[in-house]
Structure 1
Amino acid sequence: MVLQPTWLVVLSWAVLIVGFASTVVIVADHLVFRYRQPVKVMEIVWPATALYFGPAAVLAYRQWGRPQSPRWLKRHRTPPRRPRHAAGIIETLHCATHCVLGAIIATVFVFGLSFEIFDKRLWPEFIGDYVAAVVVGVAFRYSTEADTGGRRAWAATRRFLRGDLLSVSVFEFALLGWLALMEFMVFHETLQPSSPVFWLIVQIGLIIGFFAAWPPTLWLIRRGAKAELLGTPQ
């Protein structure tokens, strides 16, 4: 196993700590200070975003997320006007959360159960990431569907396929391409989740995935596939 430079390990720990601290700040704002989100899945989206965007996610939440809460609106009456690009960013973050949770779930299963394909854990990680991201995406859509009886699951799946699958697929392609590049060209080994460097690489990949998924998300919004923007003002 190749030893990782001390400076890289220290940097990785620092970035991880900042990400977790940022997540705690947002969760505390929801649960302790009671700035609850009107769309409940956004109480997952904002903390998940902080895991890889850190303080930038906290800033975006303070500007665009907290003003949507009933507590904030009770004190200020109307939310502040947001720039036009805010809706696209929020929808991209929403789709990105599918991939964030999918990556965490897949990592736990693949490395915990030591799955390998062609003596590599990278390939089952790829498959697991994508499948888990799709399942999480459908579950998110299911949670926001009105109760339509037996048609609710199908309606959620259809909405995901129409409005989220493209963004999720582009995000995953960028994320997994980055992970493959790091493993085959830089580290020449399988990084383990027990290493902070592994999670730093994942965090960078999530940021790359976000910027890759942003243009197709905007395209989907323009063509009306994502007309109902989660967590945005009406």
Structure 2
Amino acid sequence: MLTIPYWLTALSWVSIILASICFIYIVCDIIKHPQQMKIMTLVWPLTALFGSIIWVIAYKKWGENNSSHEMVMDGSMNMENSMNPKPMAVSVFIGTCHCGAGCSLADLMIEWLLYFFPTLYIFGGYPTIFSQKLFSGFVLAFILALCIGIMFQYFAIVPMKHLSRKEGILAAIKADTLSLSCWQIGMYITVSLCQLVVFPHCFGGAIPPTSPVFWFMMQIAMLVGFCTAYPMNWFLIKTGVKERM
């Protein structure tokens, strides 16, 4: 039987509610200030689900200030932005967010799908390949995240490079695969340690997605994933595999 302390449950709820408020705030702000790059309309709110207040600050500083509405209001801003591109560290931050948005959406979807339809675990290799459902879930989440990530990259790369559909898909696969893999490595290690070691030792077992503590853990795991994906995104942008955003 799980014995989760009340303080941890309360802390988890606070974190989830705060992130949800940040999500809603960014969505409302983007409605008023549409993004120049349309895919960022999804990226900024989705990353706020794990980044919370920090990501709202980042959005206000680097996202909102580059909205298409402001470009129209001040035509000189477009020229100013092209002459003064964002610092490399900021471009990498946004590029990593682009990767993280797909991961966030995929994990949110797959966790609930597996909870309501547990037979889906067999498509991830349980029990033929993995004895733990957790690892089967990782496989399914990775596949879904990769599909979403490639789609996100496609809609970012094609408008910037004016590529054909085939060229855009190939470029998106090339840009997203390594970035996503690094993100998931950090995230999966964190989740594995929590679900297989920390939670069983401290609370008596793994925690299901119906608990707020599970999603608090996922927020932390996403932040770890961001950290492990950041260096790879720097490399990909530096070498021209990913576009500087």
Deviation at residue 141 of structure 1 after TM alignment:
3.1
State which of 162, 166, 179 in structure 1 corresponds to 2:178. 166
1:196 — aligned with what?
A: 212
After superposition, give the CA deviation of every residue in 1:14-41 in whole Å (9 maximum; x if it has no partner): 000110000111000012xx20001111
2:33 — aligned with what?
A: 35
CA distance in 2, matches of 1:132, 1:222: 27
Distance 1:215 1:61, change over 3 A: same
CA distance in 2, matches of 1:179, 1:13: 19
Q: Give runs of aligned pairs for residues 128-143 of structure 1, distance below 5 A.
A: 128-143=140-155
Q: Percent identity?
A: 29
After superposition, give the CA deviation of every residue in 1:132-156 in whole Å (9 maximum; x if it has no partner): 111101222343436xxxx62x434
Name the aligned partner's letter for residue 20 of structure 1: S
Q: Give runs of aligned pairs for residues 216-227 of structure 1, distance below 5 A.
A: 216-226=232-242
Deviation at residue 99 of structure 1 after TM alignment:
1.0
Q: Give runs of aligned pairs for residues 77-156 of structure 1, distance below 5 A.
A: 77-78=76-77, 82-115=86-119, 116=121, 117-118=126-127, 120-144=132-156, 145=158, 152=165, 154-156=166-168
**Aligned residue pairs, count:** 222
1:2 — aligned with what?
A: 2
Q: Which consecutive residues of structure 1, in runs of 5 or more, have no partner in the other structure?
A: none
After superposition, give the CA deviation of every residue in 1:136-195 in whole Å (9 maximum; x if it has no partner): 01222343436xxxx62x434311232111110011111111111001111122321110
Deviation at residue 101 of structure 1 after TM alignment:
1.1
2:207 corresponds to 1:209 = no
CA distance in 2, matches of 1:103, 1:38: 27
After superposition, give the CA deviation of every residue in 1:58-86 in whole Å (9 maximum; x if it has no partner): 11111111111122234454267543311
2:2 corresponds to 1:19 = no
Report if aligned partners of 2:154, 2:171 keep a CA contact under 8 Å in 1: no
Report if aligned partners of 1:111, 1:121 keep a CA contact under 8 Å in 2: no
TM-score, normalisation: structure 2: 0.84
Distance 1:222 1:84, change over 3 A: closer
After superposition, give the CA deviation of every residue in 1:72-126 in whole Å (9 maximum; x if it has no partner): 2344542675433110100011011121111112112211112443464312210
* SS at structure 2 position matched to 1:63: helix
Q: Which consecutive residues of structure 2, in runs of 5 or more, have no partner in the other structure?
A: none
Q: How well do the aligned residues superpose, as a CA RMSD in angstroms?
A: 1.8
CA distance in 2, matches of 1:160, 1:177: 26
Q: Which has the higher helix share?
A: 2
